Structure 1
Amino acid sequence: MKRTVEFAAYPVASRPAYRRWLATGAALVALSVLAGVALRSYLEPPLAIAGFAGALLAWLGALLLRVLYYRCNRHNAQRYAQGADQQRQAWWRHHRRNVALVDSVLISAACSKPDQIRRLLTLDEKPTPVQEPDGGAAIRVAAVFGHDVLERERNLAVLLALHWQAQRSGPDGLEFLVCYWQGSSAAWHAFAQQMAQTCPEVCLPESPEPWQGIQSLDRIIDQLHQAPAGARVLCAGCHSSPIDAESPHPAGEAAVLWLLGTDGGVSVSRGEWFMAGTEPLESIAERALQQSEMQAPAKVCMSFAQPPAAGVSALGWSVLGHTQDPHFGALAQLEAMVVLTLAAWYAEQFDEPCAWLATDPHYTLILGVVKPNDWNN
């Protein structure tokens, strides 16, 4: 997980030992008197008095300097602690920033109809029928044709553009702050060409930024919060898995699109990442709660089957009951975008937070929470 800002402890001076100082002062006075008596035949009285006064002033000056050092040290330690606390609060404010999912599209065999989506979110939907061509099992979108995986991905991208065009509320043009794409460049060009035909007012770049999982999400949140109000970021992708007879899950395919902004939809957090062997699995769940300012885990956590998922489920995250493999099949790097979309739909429809768990290109696991826009902890 991303480390919080840390500060070394300020070196605090010990409190002056006043009894020892008083004892030292008393001993100094006694020695001065004894020395004055012993040396009275050799010293003039004014000289003896001056020596006694000098020693007393030196002791008093040393005590005052020690007390001043102690007070200054405590003052500096207090200022240091206040500054460190301000830095921690600023770090958490930045870490707790989120974005709004203004619009979303998810195309798959499991959610082609609205009533099917609701049953999917409430666990009432039966597993998606599996096709069994030669060489293995697959879950395919009926509206997508083609035997080659690349051809199917291009057709998925065209279908994604058509669905978004039909779903958009108005003809207003859109110019994106940045566009991210998960998938092949050929699929992106198919998506961009279809958008140019059906929605010429939507401006898409020739080459989008590659989607890098939670790192891209983290960057998008920072970009949107630094951009003018009303800025938008487009994230999309499509994937069709090749059939693999040795895979425990059927080959799946899906297409996803997000339109992200700073307001206007459910709240998507940065999420937390976990790297096996570097920290305990419990830490990612605790930090996800801190980041989302929640006292208890969300009741629902969308996920695909992950080997370490049982550890998170034991902490109260409802992971095992909402695995999406029977509905979507294997989706490789698109799985994270699919479960985050499902979590957003759940939060919007049922007006309560929903978590999501997935793998990542750079980390073992990532975990995040989507909350309704007006939800209060």
Structure 2
Amino acid sequence: MKPAPEYRPYPEPREARYSRWFAVGAALLVLTRLIWIEAVDLPLNLPPFLQLYLVGALSALWLLAFLVRVLAYCLDWHSARYYEKNANQVQQGWWEHHRQKVALIDTVLVGPACTNPLQRQALFSADHRPPTPQSTPGGATLKLLQVFGDDLVERERQLAKLLVLQWQAQRPDPCGLQPLACYWQGSLSAWRAFAEQMTKSFPQIELPEKPESWEGIFSLDSIIDRLHGAPADARILCAGCQSWSPGQGSHLPAGEAALLWLLGPQGGVGFTRGEWFDADTEQLPTVAERALQQSKLTSPPSVCVSFSQADAPLDWNTGQHLLDANFGALGGLEGMVVQTLAATCCELQRVPCAWVASDPNYTFVLGVMEPDDSTI
């Protein structure tokens, strides 16, 4: 998980023991008087002003030492308060940054179990039945009926075009949309097919020749940083498609899907930064607690969306909405599909929705989708 700044407590300042200081001062004066009287090499009838001078000098030395001690305590006390104040400010600033989020303005998900928003919402219905896997010589598959052929490259190109057409059906007029940046999960060939269809369907939108590669939670972090403080109409486009072939080391049927996000500063379900989990260096309960703390929750949400995670013994409700039977194995697109459906569930039920997903850089990542503040 992302380490929060931690500071050792400042050593507690030691206050001067006034009673001891006063006792020492009095004892010093008495002792000085006794030594003066008992000294054999000095006359016993010294002028009073010399005795007064000696007592005054010792008193001044004692008072100077006492004031230095009090001053040292005051400086130490102020240093402790200054240290504590700055440490709290740094920690508070870190948490404010860590709790920033972006809004999902629009989304499209095309897969074996859904192609439009109503079908996507139906995935959370008790009456929903997952699609039936198809048997092929290579193994079981879950594929879209609208995509043809066996070549994976060509299927992904068709998926990318189908994604744009479905977005056009959902949003015929994007109202002068021009993304600040574009992220893509998938092959460059599929991106070119996506961009080609975008030019036909939305000629006013200009896409880069080569998009930024989607790097899981790292990309999401970068997007949140970029959109924080941006104008309300600022948008970032994230999309991807994947057609998985049978027999690539997964126990699930080979699936395929394509999706699109349109992210903005506000106005939709809140995407939080999430937390990563590294099984070699971290404890999962600690990471899960941090993910809840990020969304200011004291207990796990009642709903959670995920694919099966063998290394995720969480006390979250991960078995309630498993996506395995609806999408099959999706490779690098799995995380984005999980987050898409967690956002759909959050929007549908108006409650926070947890999610657990794979990530290209860590064992897996987890977080919480938050309902749109303006609709609660």
TM over 0.5: yes
1:21 matched to 2:21? The reply is yes
Q: 2:61 aligns with which of 55, 58, 61?
A: 58
The residue number in structure 2 matching 1:32 is: 32
The residue number in structure 2 matching 1:128 is: 131
Q: Which amino acid aligns with 1:371?
A: E
The residue number in structure 2 matching 1:5 is: 5
Q: Which amino acid aligns with 1:360?
A: D
Please tell me whether the aligned partners of residues 229 and 265 of structure 2 are also in contact (alpha carbons under 8 angstroms).
no
Name the stretch that deviates more: 257-266 or 26-35. 26-35
Please tell me whether the aligned partners of residues 138 and 246 of structure 2 are also in contact (alpha carbons under 8 angstroms).
yes
Please tell me whether the aligned partners of residues 153 and 187 of structure 1 are also in contact (alpha carbons under 8 angstroms).
yes
Change beyond 3 A, Cα 1:83–1:171: closer
The residue number in structure 1 matching 2:362 is: 363
Please tell me whether the aligned partners of residues 135 and 245 of structure 1 are also in contact (alpha carbons under 8 angstroms).
no
Give the alignment's TM-score, normalised by structure 1.
0.94
**1:89-143 residue CA offsets vs partner (Å, 9 max, x unmatched):** 1111111000000000000011135554333123532222101111200000110
Please tell me whether the aligned partners of residues 171 and 201 of structure 1 are also in contact (alpha carbons under 8 angstroms).
no
Secondary structure class of the residue paired with 1:177: coil
The residue number in structure 1 matching 2:213 is: 210
The residue number in structure 1 matching 2:311 is: 308
What CA distance in whole angstroms lies between the structure 1 residues aligned with 2:53 and 2:367? 77
Change beyond 3 A, Cα 1:10–1:28: same
Name the stretch that deviates more: 4-13 or 55-64. 4-13
Change beyond 3 A, Cα 1:267–1:246: closer
The residue number in structure 1 matching 2:324 is: 325
Q: Kindly report which structure 2 residues correspond to 1:36-115, keeping only aligned pairs within 5 A, or say none.
A: 36-39=36-39, 41=43, 43-112=46-115, 114-115=117-118
Name the stretch that deviates more: 61-70 or 111-120. 111-120
The residue number in structure 2 matching 1:266 is: 269
1:285 positional shift = 1.2
**1:149-182 residue CA offsets vs partner (Å, 9 max, x unmatched):** 1111111001011111221152522211111000
1:358 positional shift = 0.5
Secondary structure class of the residue paired with 1:166: helix
Q: Kindly report which structure 2 residues correspond to 1:193-342, keeping only aligned pairs within 5 A, or say none.
A: 193-244=196-247, 247-309=250-312, 311-312=313-314, 314=315, 317-342=316-341
Secondary structure class of the residue paired with 1:121: coil
The residue number in structure 2 matching 1:152 is: 155
1:188 matched to 2:187? The reply is no
**1:46-99 residue CA offsets vs partner (Å, 9 max, x unmatched):** 223212211111111111111111122112211221121121111111110000
What CA distance in whole angstroms lies between the structure 1 residues aligned with 2:214 and 2:272? 17
Secondary structure class of the residue paired with 2:197: helix
1:199 positional shift = 0.9
Aligned residues: 373
Q: Which amino acid aligns with 1:9?
A: P
Q: Which amino acid aligns with 1:337?
A: M
What CA distance in whole angstroms lies between the structure 1 residues aligned with 2:357 and 2:91? 28
Name the stretch that deviates more: 118-127 or 105-114. 118-127
The residue number in structure 1 matching 2:122 is: 119
Name the stretch that deviates more: 37-46 or 254-263. 37-46
Secondary structure class of the residue paired with 2:320: helix
Please tell me whether the aligned partners of residues 267 and 374 of structure 2 are also in contact (alpha carbons under 8 angstroms).
no
Change beyond 3 A, Cα 1:58–1:122: farther
Q: Which runs of 5+ in 2 are unaligned?
A: none
Secondary structure class of the residue paired with 1:362: coil
Give the alignment's TM-score, normalised by structure 2.
0.95
State percent identity of aligned pairs: 50
What CA distance in whole angstroms lies between the structure 1 residues aligned with 2:263 and 2:245? 30
Q: Which amino acid aligns with 1:213?
A: G
Q: Which runs of 5+ in 1 are unaligned?
A: none
The residue number in structure 1 matching 2:344 is: 345
Name the stretch that deviates more: 21-30 or 61-70. 21-30
Instruction: Please provide the CA RMSD for this pair.
Output: 1.8
**1:19-66 residue CA offsets vs partner (Å, 9 max, x unmatched):** 332232122011111123224507543223212211111111111111
**1:284-338 residue CA offsets vs partner (Å, 9 max, x unmatched):** 21111111112221111110111122x21x2xx1102221111100001111100
What CA distance in whole angstroms lies between the structure 2 residues aligned with 1:347 and 1:169? 25
Secondary structure class of the residue paired with 1:87: helix
What CA distance in whole angstroms lies between the structure 2 residues aligned with 1:115 and 1:234? 22
**1:220-278 residue CA offsets vs partner (Å, 9 max, x unmatched):** 00000143331100000000001118631100000010000011211111111111121
